[in-house]
Structure 1
Amino acid sequence: MCVDKNQVEEGESCEGLEFSENQTERSPDSEKPCMERICENSTTVNSGLKESVDFVPVIRSGEWSDIGGRDRMEDTHVCISDLAKKFGYHSTDESVISFYGVFDGHGGQGAAHFVRDNLPRVIVEDADFPLELEKVVTRSFKQTDTQFARTCDLESSLSSGTTALTAMIFGRSLLVANAGDCRAVLSRLGTAVEMSKDHRPCCINEQTRVKSLGGSINYGYLNDQLEVTRALGDWHLQGMKEIGEPGGPLSAEPELKMVTLTKEDEFLIICSDGIWEVFTSQNAVDFARRQLREHNDVKLCCKELVQEALRRGATDNLTAVMVCFHLELPSKTKVQRTRVHRSISAEGLHYLRSILEG
């Protein structure tokens, strides 16, 4: 059972576009899913096993977004504490599924908003929901993508694309689905565990898949047009997608990763790529833990993460969603890391790289 404890202060607003279960939008202007399953409890014994089995996540969530240095806001997101209830389906406490998503649009807002508004509903309406969630999520990503293609045929002004990253929490299970370069990172006693892989042209596996489907990778771009190799939408771009199989080099099929949550799992960070341009996964976890230890306010922590990204020189749209699994503060656990000898901070390295790249 998951208990939702969203922290939203009355009168507090977000810069940029936002969309969640309890908020209104604000604007500044395959059947066989590719899946990595991790079940840490499978090797736990004796008292440790009992502690893991007894662990019940207490869900608290928050979010913040900012237009950054862009002319328009193309990021959006969604936070739903009870997915079935949201769409009028009955669910017991034991079967509550929480749903969180970040969608980073490109070429317009149409695709990101369409996926945000329709993907959760398509998941719930699938005949196999909620018994076969992995299969349902993969199928729903593709179905939503096809629906958007038909919508664009009727209203061409919506033509655009979006990455999509979702997280679903049910019982002690966490299922992350990703198509694009947003990223989800789990904090496990302060150690960053990446729950998604960035789908960029530099990824060897993605290069192999793209080239097998007739696509090309040149200077970090897919078919000289996109900096991502998986996304929903973009049906207006020639040579990217086809209805049916194999579907073209730009894929809407998400990669899935599932873990069984234990007491050691503190929170999940889901962010658009603007955040990850100036934060490493571990750096983001370290920053978030420090802020939570100061005030234990999940929404404020998201705001501070976005503001820190801006301070570090982020120029893209920025969106951060955080889901905590405890009411208590993160522990003072010291993370053991490989010793690295260096004389410049991660922030300094990013600044130096920005200068060198012009």
Structure 2
Amino acid sequence: MGIYLSTPKTEKFSEDGENSRLRYGLSSMQGWRSTMEDAHAAIPDLDASTSFFGVYDGHGGKVVAKFCAKYLHQQVLRDEAYLASDIGTSVQKAFFRMDEMMRGQRGWRELAVLGDKIDKFTGMLEGLIWSPRSGDRKDQVDDWSFEEGPHSDFSGPTSGSTACVAIIRDNQLVIANAGDSRCVISRKGQAHNLSRDHKPDLEVERERILKAGGFIQAGRVNGSLNLARAIGDVEFKQNKFLPADKQIVTANPDINVVELCGDDEFLVLACDGIWDCLSNQQLVDFIRDQLKSENKLSVVCEKVLDRCLAPSTAVGLGCDNMTMILVQFKKPTQSGTSVDEQSSAKEVAKIESKSTESGSYLGKDSS
């Protein structure tokens, strides 16, 4: 049977929620894959004025994706930069912090608890034996790597995960992405890219990979990983003479800060299981058509998943795990001019780049 099941698992986990500013729906489905390695986070009220949404697509296992879904938004919220209203810096630091937190005794134990049943039992047992008196207090989360125990030298997981998150505060939208999960916004029906897929053949990725001592074979990093950026994947982050953002594979996200306007209709976060089957514009068109007759956003997401599911594993596309979050803005966020009344130069000027390598953009879908 290999990595595929004989029949797909089409049962879906779906959820809806809202606040005064927006409403969201999400759905995830295992599909043809033998295991479910996607995870997600949807927190409409990260604080009184901020919403957080994230999609995490695991590879080589589910634990890193689940770890990110559990902890990444917490790290954003507690960072000093966030408290100073610098959301871009706080989310970038949170991506790197995931790798740091997954090391050492506490990192090993948490990954074990998030893993399969055998690992979960083992992890819980180790926790009872080796946890310090402070236990798992939430205010000690940043001290995990310093806990003593039989796995104190654990360097981190060999599996990994993409991470694509959207943080919305008032008229500001912050997108952070590492990997090939993707965020797209519909502006007056036109799909706009808010993230870039980090594939090894991109020039900036190839340059970093080669400088760090890696190579690219058959479109994969060291002939293995088809992503150039990801959280986890410790085997590609072993050069002690290089900082975290210069490793063969890095967790360093592209950060886009975009000013929302009244023409913005909805936001989509989805793993590559969706984007392999539909272009940005095709997905936006499909959603807009569904919204004419369906008000429940999770149902719209479910219809997208069913639309993308392959009838068999013969082709390959449509056989991956699928997760999608749809965020709809309840009302215009500002009374300013529309996109059609702005020059492209002014539109680009709205976007603040926090990434030192790839830069930010708001591009129309050309496919």
Two-structure CA RMSD over aligned residues (Å): 2.6
Q: How many residues align?
A: 271
For residue 77 of structure 1, the aligned residue among 7, 27, 40 is 40
Partner Cα separation in structure 2 for residue 148 and residue 156 of structure 1? 7
The percent of aligned pairs where both chains have the same amino acid is 34
Q: Does 1:111 align with 2:58?
A: no
Q: Which amino acid aligns with 1:317?
A: N
1:246 aligns with 243
1:68 aligns with 31
SS where residue 119 of structure 1 aligns?
A: helix
Q: Does 1:322 align with 2:275?
A: no
Judged with a 3 Å threshold, the aligned counterparts in structure 2 of structure 1 residues 327 and 296 are, in CA distance, closer, same or farther, namely: farther
1:15 aligns with 11
Q: CA deviation at 1:274?
A: 0.5
Partner Cα separation in structure 1 for residue 301 and residue 277 of structure 2? 15
Residue correspondence of structure 1 range 1-358 to structure 2 within 5 A: 15=11, 58-84=21-47, 91=48, 96-130=49-83, 131-150=85-104, 151-153=106-108, 159=157, 160-235=159-234, 237=235, 239-242=236-239, 245-247=242-244, 248-311=247-310, 314-326=318-330
SS where residue 302 of structure 1 aligns?
A: helix
Choose between structure 1 and 2: higher strand proportion.
Answer: 2
Partner Cα separation in structure 1 for residue 161 and residue 25 of structure 2? 22
SS where residue 89 of structure 2 aligns?
A: helix
Partner Cα separation in structure 1 for residue 13 and residue 230 of structure 2? 20
Judged with a 3 Å threshold, the aligned counterparts in structure 2 of structure 1 residues 292 and 245 are, in CA distance, closer, same or farther, namely: same
SS where residue 162 of structure 2 aligns?
A: strand
The alignment's TM-score, normalised by the length of structure 2, stands at 0.68
SS where residue 118 of structure 1 aligns?
A: helix
CA displacement, residues 140-170 of structure 1 (integer Å, 9 cap, x when unaligned): 1101221113345557856321110100000
2:136 aligns with none
The alignment's TM-score, normalised by the length of structure 1, stands at 0.70
Q: Which runs of 5+ in 1 are unaligned?
A: 1-13, 23-56, 85-90, 329-334, 336-358
CA contact (8 A) 2:168 2:174 kept: yes
Partner Cα separation in structure 1 for residue 12 and residue 292 of structure 2? 27
CA contact (8 A) 2:102 2:111 kept: no
Partner Cα separation in structure 2 for residue 253 and residue 169 of structure 1? 20
Report which stretch shifted further, 219-228 or 239-248.
239-248
Q: CA deviation at 1:246?
A: 2.1
CA contact (8 A) 1:184 1:194 kept: yes
CA displacement, residues 93-125 of structure 1 (integer Å, 9 cap, x when unaligned): xxx110000000011111111111011111111
Q: Which amino acid aligns with 2:178?
A: A
CA contact (8 A) 2:200 2:206 kept: yes
Q: Which amino acid aligns with 2:99?
A: D
Q: CA deviation at 1:250?
A: 0.6
Judged with a 3 Å threshold, the aligned counterparts in structure 2 of structure 1 residues 260 and 212 are, in CA distance, closer, same or farther, namely: same
Judged with a 3 Å threshold, the aligned counterparts in structure 2 of structure 1 residues 288 and 118 are, in CA distance, closer, same or farther, namely: same
Partner Cα separation in structure 2 for residue 275 and residue 192 of structure 1? 15
SS where residue 124 of structure 1 aligns?
A: helix
